[in-house]
Amino acid sequence: MHQIASDYNRPDTLSSVLIRTENPMAAQALINDISSDVKLNLGAMTEVAYYAQQTAASLPIKMLGMLVCTLMAVGSAFAAMNTMYAAVARRAREIETLRVLGFSRGSILLSFLLESLLLALLGGVLGCLLVLPLHNATTGIGSFVTFSEIAFTYRVTPQVMLAGLLFALVLGALGGVLPAFGAARKAILVALREG
């Protein structure tokens, strides 16, 4: 220890030491021994706990990201709903012609809901394609615990893209169900007079 400190022109004090044990039980026993010895005046933890403590500074950024994500999701659901209400209004005569020809309310509802889902899926695929250039991009955030930078890399994996597509479908369903229900409930004669 003294030799390493002199080689690197550092003071003869340590801020951290990494000790490898044979198994997790030995690690826990060592942590208990070090923490209970009052003469040492040291704290001990596993490497996983250490890095969890170091990354705790990123919690406000994560919460801000979740807030932005929630606001954008609500806005997207309203945009999908607005688009589908406009589609229903433009095609009122077409909808009622289908009803006169014998199509059930359920089939009308299903067709508009499927249209909303397909539009949402198209938007999700476009979003996945737009985010692909960020794959393996590295950025960082300062840690207020150690006053150092914590670097992280964006990974656009197939699982992430699948989750994004599923999320887009959920938003499409939420935004399309009310307009589809409204299209299916229109009375045939009233809609033909309106069109």
Q: Shortest CA distance to 30 belongs to which of 20, 15, 38, 16?
A: 20
Cα distances from 94 to residues 1, 37, 103, in angstroms, run 83, 82, 11
Q: Where are the alpha helices (DSSP H) in 91-157?
A: 92-100, 105-131
Confidence at residue 5, expressed as pLDDT on a 0 to 100 scale? 65
Confidence (pTM): 0.64
Return the ∠ at Cα 53 (arms to 48 and 55), rounded to 5°. Answer: 95
**Token duo for residue 78:** 């309203």
Confidence at residue 44, expressed as pLDDT on a 0 to 100 scale? 84
* Whole-number Å distance between alpha carbons of 181 and 142: 49
Cα distances from 10 to residues 3, 4, 28, 148, in angstroms, run 10, 8, 30, 18
Confidence at residue 4, expressed as pLDDT on a 0 to 100 scale? 62
* Whole-number Å distance between alpha carbons of 122 and 118: 6
- Asked if 152 and 65 touch (Cβ cutoff 8 Å), the reply is no
Report which secondary-structure segment, H or E, holds 150: strand 149-153
SS3 45: coil
Taking only the tens of pLDDT, the chain with its 195 residues reads 566 667 667 666 666 777 888 888 888 888 888 888 777 777 888 888 887 777 776 778 889 989 998 999 899 889 888 988 888 888 888 888 887 888 888 888 898 899 999 999 999 999 999 999 988 888 877 666 566 676 778 888 999 999 999 999 999 998 888 888 888 887 665 555 655
SS3 187: coil
One-letter amino acid at 131 equals V
Strand partners, 139: 152
- Asked if 13 and 23 touch (Cβ cutoff 8 Å), the reply is no
Confidence at residue 192, expressed as pLDDT on a 0 to 100 scale? 55
